[in-house]
Amino acid sequence: MEYFIQQLINGITLGGLYALIALGYTMVYGVIQLINFAHGEFFAAGGYVGVIVLSYLAGNGHLETHPFLCLAASFALTMVYCAFLAMGVEKVAYKPLRLQSRLAVLLSALGMSIFLQNALMLTQGVYDKAYPSELFQGGLEFGDVTVSYLQIMMVGMTVVLLVGLNLLVFKTKIGMAMRATAQDKIMSSLVSISANRIISLTFAIGAGLAAAAGIMVGLYYGSVRYDMGFLPGIKAFAAAVLGGIGNITGAMLGGLIIGMIEIFGAGYISGQYKDVFAFIILISVLYFKPTGIMGENIDDTRV
């Protein structure tokens, strides 16, 4: 039983990360029907900005005196940076192609992904960058089950971000504008909603969430590397598809499911097939329900 609970906790932590990244895919798809393959790179960039900010603060000794302030500052800075990065990428690589075929934009997204990954490699080097380890040492012990403070922080932060996003999309005017744009760009522009601004905003929010996931991965696993965006990007994309691409709740659910399956597959069967299990579930769900678990709604829940 302890074994099961321990694996459950591992699964929730990993699933939360996938959910945060998956949201970016699903929101962008909801608004402009584009699979943004460069999204994983925003996550990696977030991990790097986080390590740069935190190392700087740790070097000046602030991390020891005000750990929570430093953490909040690094999250804020990183999310803002990645939001601007994503808006820039959208302006440069996607906006000029908006009236072209969807394939053109897709290729542009792939190109952007390669460009950003190599830019990270050339500027930050090929070596792993270690995160300061002073934060969140230790954890809680319940018999044989260990829950580290880091895991608690990550799950807490993920919940806060997900609830915040839901409030933003479903309870505010901006969220209403986003949903309107997702439904019908022409109609929404007739009621003076600027599609360009909404698209920029969608990219910014998605990248901000991915950036937060990037810092958490860095803190949790202890280091970041330039190619860290690729695999989680693919898994999160799978999660978004599993949940029903275009659907926010679906992406959260999909992320959790993929994370759980990976951990339980590795924990109860064998570690070498963990990616296989995740994708088997993805394929079987899509076989019976091609629109994903939550389906692609056409009503106002889609963003």
Partner 1 sequence: MMRSKTWKLLMLGLILVPFVFGTASAKTLKIGSMSPLTGPYASDGTDIKNGVLTAIEVFEAAGGMPGYDKIELFPQDTACDPKQAVASANKLINLEVVGVIGAYCSSSTIPSSVTLNEEEIPMLTPASTNEAVTDRGLPYMFRLCGRDDDQAPAAAKFLKEYLKAKTIFIVDDKTTYSQGLADGVAKSAKEMGMEVVEHDHVNQGDKDFAAVLTKAKAANADVFYMSLQGYSPGALMTLQAKRLGLESQIVTQDAMFQPKFMDVAKEASEGIYLTYGFTDTSTPEYKSFEDLYVPKYGPIAAYATYAYDAATVLLKAIKAAGSTDPDKIKAEIMKMDFDGVAKRIKFNEKGDSGSSYIAYKIENGKFVPFWSPVKGLLQK
* Binding residues vs partner 1 (CB under 8 A): 2-3, 6-7, 10, 13-14, 121, 126-128, 130, 133, 139, 141, 144, 146, 148, 150, 217, 221-223, 225, 227-228, 231-232, 262-267, 270-272, 274-275
What's the angle, vertex CA 126, arms to CA 50 and CA 210, rounded to 5?
Answer: 35
Minimum Å distance from CB 5 to partner 1? Answer: 10
Residue 144 or 300: which CB sits closer to partner 1? 144
Minimum Å distance from CB 154 to partner 1? Answer: 12
The gap between the terminal CA atoms of the chain, to the nearest Å, is: 40
Tokens of 151: 């895991």
Minimum Å distance from CB 238 to partner 1? Answer: 15
- How many beta carbons lie within 10 A of that of residue 107, not counting itself? 14
Tokens of 237: 């994309």
Minimum Å distance from CB 180 to partner 1? Answer: 39
Nearest to 123 by CA among 45, 42, 208, 212: 45
Residue 119 or 187: which CB sits closer to partner 1? 119
The counts of H helices and E strands in the chain are: 12, 4
| 265-273: long-range pairs with CB below 8 Å, 24+ | 267/3, 267/7, 267/10, 268/7
Residue 85 or 278: which CB sits closer to partner 1? 278
Burial environment of residue 174 by CB neighbours within 10 A (0 to 12, 13 to 18, 19 or more): middle
State how beta strands 145-148 and 139-142 pair: antiparallel
Residue 133 or 172: which CB sits closer to partner 1? 133
- How many beta carbons lie within 10 A of that of residue 25, not counting itself? 29
Residue 4 or 88: which CB sits closer to partner 1? 4
Tokens of 163: 């609830």
Residue 132 or 254: which CB sits closer to partner 1? 132
DSSP state of 268: I
Nearest to 73 by CA among 52, 45, 87: 52
Minimum Å distance from CB 225 to partner 1? Answer: 7
Minimum Å distance from CB 265 to partner 1? Answer: 8
Residue found by looking up tokens 């000029």 in the block: 96
Residue 119 or 298: which CB sits closer to partner 1? 119
Name the helix (H) or strand (E) containing 116.
helix 102-124
Minimum Å distance from CB 113 to partner 1? Answer: 15
Residue 96 or 222: which CB sits closer to partner 1? 222
Minimum Å distance from CB 74 to partner 1? Answer: 19
User: Distance between CA 81 and CA 101 in Å, rounded?
Assistant: 30
